[in-house]
Each structure stands twice: as structure tokens, then as C-alpha cells.
Amino acid sequence: AQSVTQLDSHVSVSEGTPVLLRCNYSSSYSPSLFWYVQHPNKGLQLLLKYTSAATLVKGINGFEAEFKKSETSFHLTKPSAHMSDAAEYFCVVSPASGTYKYIFGTGTRLKVLA
Amino acid sequence: GAVVSQHPSWVICKSGTSVKIECRSLDFQATTMFWYRQFPKQSLMLMATSNEGSKATYEQGVEKDKFLINHASLTLSTLTVTSAHPEDSSFYICSARGASGTEQFFGPGTRLTVL
């Protein structure tokens, strides 16, 4: 069985400071992992994805995430937060075959303070 | 590439009426389409998975007679909320997956309000 845990429901950072959104997963085999961002009343936008290639994944808007198998983690980071980063972030795990269903984390709301 | 559209983006209807939401993959053939429901300040909840030409597979607890899903072609899936009630008010999001890879491409969502 697969599952994903986002360790923080809310994160607040000041503009210009680093962002860390934590995600741990459980999977019986090598999964695909994704981070999505959702702005209010909008659909989901893909930030980055891990699909068994390089463990350090770079995404859009300066975000990156590192796949750490030993820690079963896929934390999302950004060196310097911007006001426009304020949104809901979802970590997702998906099997590499079969139904390809997404297992969503509960989400982390990022607040960026001026 | 990999654009998914939804129509309408929002809809208001009276209790007891039916509402149809369309999900289209604009530039690729969608082998599988997924329908999600999202309550305010919550994560996405998968309602059903559909493959072109096949009956949809519903998640546990989702009423298949209430939420009718049709995946008639490789670029179109529809979700019909039958006899809608206020508790069906929600944000409905579809996604589509192509023939290869695990990534799903999401539509912009449809806000349904039932009065």
C-alpha cells in the first residue's frame, strides 16, 4: 500500500527567506513522486516530479526537491520565498504501473509574510 | 503541451436538477481520466477512474448512480451530477493521463453550487 504524509498543515515564512515543505511517503515499490501547487479556486499546477532518474529534481519557479529513499522523504525547498508563492502545496505519490492513481497528501498552506 | 480543459468553470443550479461537466484533453489522447472532488481547505478526493470505452471504476463510498461518468472518446470525459442537492456543492477537478508515463494533467476545475 502507498501513502503520503505532509508533516505541516501550515507554514509561514518571510519574503526572501527559504521555504521547506516536508513530505514523507510509504511505498512497497519504487514510486513516482510529484509536488503540485494550487492557488485559490484554481486547478493544480505541476511544480516538479521524480520518476526514478536524478534524485535532486529541479522544478519551476525556483523550487526543487530531493528524493531520499533511506528517509522515504521528498521535501520541497526554495531558497528565497516570493509573495506569489503563497498557495496550497500537495505532495503526491503514484505507482509506476497499474491504475496510476495518485495518492494525495493533505496539503500544506504556505503563507509568505511581507 | 498536455493541456486539459473543463467546462463550465462554474455552474449554479437548483436542487433536483442535473449538471454535466466536460473534461477534454486538448493536445493528447487520454488513455485514462480521473475525477476528483475537493471540499474547501481540503485535499483532493478521487471519485472515479475511467478508461476510454469502458465503464468507470468508482472509489468506495461514491454513488455511481448519482455521479455518472462517460468516457466516450480519447479526448472527452463527462461527469453528470444527477438530482443535485446542496451537499453536492463542491469543486470538481478532472485529470487525464496519456498512454505512457505516470503523470496526470489537471483541468482548471469546476465550481458547482446547488441552491
Nearest Cα of chain B lies from the Cα of A114 at a distance, in angstroms, of: 23
Mutate to test the interface with B, among A44, A57, A111 (most CBs of B within 10 A): A44
Q: Chain B residues with CB inside 8 Å of A105's CB?
A: 43
Give residue B91's pLDDT: 95
A43–B103 CB contact, under 8 Å:
no
Predicted local confidence at residue B100, as pLDDT: 80
CA distance A88 to chain B (A): 9
Q: Which one of A101, A109, A111 would you mutate to disrupt binding with B, by most B Cβ within 10 Å of its Cβ?
A: A101
Amino acid B2: pLDDT: 87
Give me the tens of pLDDT residue by residue for chain A, a chain 114 residues long. Answer: 788 999 999 999 999 999 999 999 988 777 889 999 999 888 899 999 998 778 899 999 999 999 998 999 999 999 999 999 999 999 999 876 677 889 999 999 999 999
pLDDT, position B101 = 75
CA-nearest of A107, A109, A87, A89 to A40 is: A87
B49-89 residue pLDDT tens: 998 888 899 999 999 999 999 988 899 999 999 999 999 99
* Residue A96: predicted pLDDT: 67
Query: Over 70: is that where the pLDDT of B1 sits?
Result: no
When the pLDDT of each residue in chain B is averaged and rounded to a whole number, the result is: 93
**pLDDT bucket at B99, cuts 50 / 70 / 90:** confident
- pLDDT over 70, % of chain B: 99
- With an 8 Å Cβ cutoff, is A113 touching chain B? no
Report the chain B residue with the minimal C-alpha distance to residue A95: B102
Using a CB-CB cut-off of 8 Å, the residues of chain A touching B97 are: 100
Of the candidate ranges A27-31, B6-10, B39-43, the one whose mean pLDDT is the lowest: A27-31
